[in-house]
């Protein structure tokens, strides 16, 4: 059985006693006989930006899915935004913005229809949602394609819309798996403020690109 470990990291200035945004102790996740994550410890305060690095198959995406409450840990302790997972996953819902490998977008709906659906699922008032969706699409440069089917968009355009989807409900925690994937430099520049940490919003970014991930990160977590 393969064993994977991660460095113990602590975010934020020493001596401050805040309730951590993320606290992991001896986190483990198995898929049958295969261990994807083992012995992961982490403590991050609200507003911290964490870069998760590691080779392919080191469990980076698995870690993000566990933090989002989408995957149950096999062992260890997981606390996210004060919710012990998996028992209190229901309290976490609506507070996390998750950007995965694949866009969480319906291909046969337009970007606008997808975002309206997500707004309804998050209980955002339709008037407020309409204004926010319009502003987000404008920010990412997708207003002109807002009515086209997602299936007709390029990979980069889908990524822009998916980032809008992840931040639409103004989450307290952003979990981003390769957010720069498929984006050109201009798009990266436009989208950077949308997915930045700060003002109480914690951010975890998974990346293969050590330099890109470390940019703006308070600390890094090495897996594998």
Partner 1 sequence: MTAYSALLRKDLRVELRTLRSLPAMALFAITAFVIFRFGLDRERLSGELAAGVLIPTLLFAALLAINRLFVAEREEGGFDLIRLAPVDRTVLFAAKASALVVYLVVLELVAVPIFALFFLDSASGLLPLALVLLLANVGLAATGTVISTIATMSSARDLLAPLILLPLLVPLVVAAAGAGEHLLAEGGPDYGRFGTWLGLLGLYDLIFLLVGYATFDFLLDD
Out of 126, 147, 198, 200, the residue judged to bind partner 1 by CB under 8 A: 126
**Site for partner 1 contains 68 (CB under 8 A):** yes
Which residue from 102, 186, 199, 211 is in contact with partner 1, where contact means CB under 8 A? 102
Helix, strand, coil % in the chain, rounded to nearest 5: 30, 25, 45
What's the token pair of residue 6?
């991660």
Tokens 């898929």 correspond to 31
Among 5, 19, 26, 72, which residue sits at the site for partner 1 (rule: CB under 8 A)?
A: 72
User: With CB under 8 A as the contact rule, which of the stretches 110-118, 131-139, 180-188, 191-199 interacts with partner 1?
Assistant: 110-118
Residue 210 binding partner 1, by CB under 8 A: no
Pairing of β 22-31 and β 75-80: antiparallel
Nearer to partner 1, 4 or 169 (CB): 169
| 212 makes contact with partner 1 (CB under 8 A) | no
**Cα torsion angle, 195, 196, 201, 207, sign:** positive
Please report whether residue 108 would count as binding partner 1 according to CB under 8 A. yes
Q: Where are the beta strands (DSSP E) in the chain?
A: 9-10, 22-31, 34-44, 49-53, 75-80, 83-85, 96-99, 173-177, 202-207, 219-222
Give contact residues for partner 1 (rule: CB under 8 A): 68-72, 93-96, 98, 100, 102-109, 113, 116-118, 120-123, 126, 149
């Amino acid at each position: 059985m393969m064993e994977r470990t991660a460095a113990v990291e602590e975010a934020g200035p020493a001596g401050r006693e805040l309730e951590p945004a993320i606290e992991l102790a001896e986190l483990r996740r198995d898929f049958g006989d295969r261990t994807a994550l083992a012995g992961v410890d982490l403590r991050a305060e609200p507003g911290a930006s964490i870069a998760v690095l590691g080779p392919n198959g080191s469990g980076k995406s698995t870690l993000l899915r566990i933090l989002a409450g989408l995957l149950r840990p096999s062992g260890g302790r997981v606390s996210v935004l004060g919710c012990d997972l998996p028992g209190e996953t229901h309290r976490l819902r609506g507070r996390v913005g998750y950007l995965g490998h694949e866009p969480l977008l319906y291909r046969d709906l337009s970007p606008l229809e997808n975002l309206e659906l997500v707004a309804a699922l998050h209980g955002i008032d339709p008037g407020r949602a309409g204004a926010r969706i319009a502003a987000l699409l404008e920010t990412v440069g997708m207003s002109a394609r807002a009515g086209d089917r997602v299936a007709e968009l390029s990979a980069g355009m889908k990524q822009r819309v998916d980032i809008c989807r992840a931040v639409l409900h103004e989450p307290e925690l952003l979990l981003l798996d390769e957010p720069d994937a498929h984006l050109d430099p201009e798009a990266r520049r436009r989208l950077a403020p949308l997915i930045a940490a700060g003002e109480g919003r914690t951010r975890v970014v998974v990346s293969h690109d050590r330099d890109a991930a470390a940019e703006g990160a308070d600390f890094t977590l090495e897996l594998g």
